[in-house]
Chain A
Amino acid sequence: MAIYQRLGRVSYTTWGSFSVLYNRNSGNTHLVENIPAILMEFCFSNSYFDEQELYQNIITDMNIDDQLVKNSLTSFVKMDLLEKVEN
């Protein structure tokens, strides 16, 4: 499973099913939909984590499926919030 590195501090806020994320490094602001708070909290508070850790942490929320996790991680990488670290 891949390891991810947090690229820097992110500020975010959620209203309903939408969240706005501010990337302090790139200065870009992003609007996202339907990304659970527990997922964002985990991704943005650890410097390094692997996908296994991530799944263990969000297991309590039954609504989160594999595809959602994968899509979210891909989005965060695109937004320069996370970096996939080659093993």
Chain B
Amino acid sequence: MKTKKIDIAACLGSYGLTINIGFFRYNIRSSLRTVEQSIETLYSDFELTDYETDSQLVDFHVLVDEVWQLRSVFNRQAKFFLDGLAPFNSLPIQHAPAIIEWGMNWCVSSQLNTHLIIHAAVIEKDGFAAVMPAPPGSGKSTLTASLIQEGWRLLSDELTLIDLNTLQVSPFPRPVSLKNESITVIKNRYPNVIFGPISSDTAKGNVCHIRPPSLSVKNQHVNCPIGWFIFPKYQREAKTEFFEFGKAQALMSVAENSFNYSVLGETGFDVLKNVIGKANCFQFKYSNLDEAIKVFSGLPVPQ
């Protein structure tokens, strides 16, 4: 059920706008117009409700608003708050749409231990998830943003959530973040993709987010087992290379890319041992997006 434009602004400016994303409920407040516009553009397929009249029980109460600092003399500043706690320093106010996206990720990665959380994109096809752990610079965002236009379902572009009991991935499909050249690449390849506002000159360069595919949002409660762990690495002018990655090394790499592997202790180790045991693990180097998409469509089906 979509709320009218004027309601979104009113909700954000008063008790809050509630959004259901995967199994999470966020209550968002902000008096900033850029945040309102960003949400309108990027979250139009999500169920948005007025906090005042809806259920009062949510996972996170978040706020992005202007704050007054010494730095405000040069550039107005905005800050992200989770229920009064500010985990990051303030940033220029024009980056507010990016701030809220980063903040919403931070809430999950810092508070949740019922799932093993990996810093990885995860997409699904034919009932199996492909998890792509990748540090910045690996090209994971461009790859993810392309694959979800080519028949793959988006489960998440940043946080892979593995249920400790079922070992399945719980979707958390949100606007996909793009940086610098990848913004141009995706704009040219997929002119129908909806872009949110671009935040220029952030610490990461130019950053923006694209609306997640409607079908991914519609299926945001459909979990699935992991079929593949794929470690992508974009390298300019490199030949496409796709080869098996030893499971022991894959386990170590995934653990290194996890937010809460160490907190989970023995459980974390057991979960990784099991999911990696059942999945196929690959390393993947590429420079050509068409070839990359072809490799993904030809992945061996897991047993």
Contact = CB atoms under 8 A, between A and B. Distances in A.
Q: Taking the complex as a whole, does A directly touch B, i.e. does some CB pair lie under 8 Å apart?
A: yes
A13 B277 contact: yes
Interface residues of B, number: 14
Interface string B240-284: 000000111101100100000010011001100100010000000
Contacts of B248: 13-16, 18-20, 31
Interface residues of A, number: 13
Majority DSSP secondary structure for residues of B touching A: helix
Interface string B220-250: 0000000000000000000000000011110
4 A-B pairs with the lowest CB-CB distances in the bound complex, closest first: A18-B248, A22-B269, A15-B247, A13-B273
A74 interface: no
A19 to B, nearest CB: 7
A14 B277 CA distance: 10
22 contacts: A11-B266, A11-B269, A11-B270, A11-B273, A13-B248, A13-B251, A13-B273, A14-B248, A15-B246, A15-B277, A16-B247, A16-B248, A18-B246, A18-B248, A20-B252, A22-B269, A24-B266, A27-B262, A29-B255, A29-B269, A31-B248, A31-B249
Nearest to B264: A27
Contacts of B249: 18, 31
Contacts, number: 38
A20 B273 contact: yes
Interface in A21-65: 22, 24, 27, 29, 31
Given A20-B273, A22-B266, A24-B266, A31 B247 contact: no
Contacts of B265: 24, 27
A15 B248 CA distance: 6
Contacts of B266: 11, 22, 24
A28 B273 CA distance: 15
A42 to B, nearest CB: 21
Given A18-B247, A22-B266, A27-B265, 16 more contacts: A11-B270, A13-B248, A13-B251, A13-B277, A15-B248, A15-B277, A16-B247, A16-B248, A18-B246, A18-B248, A19-B248, A20-B273, A24-B265, A24-B266, A29-B255, A29-B269
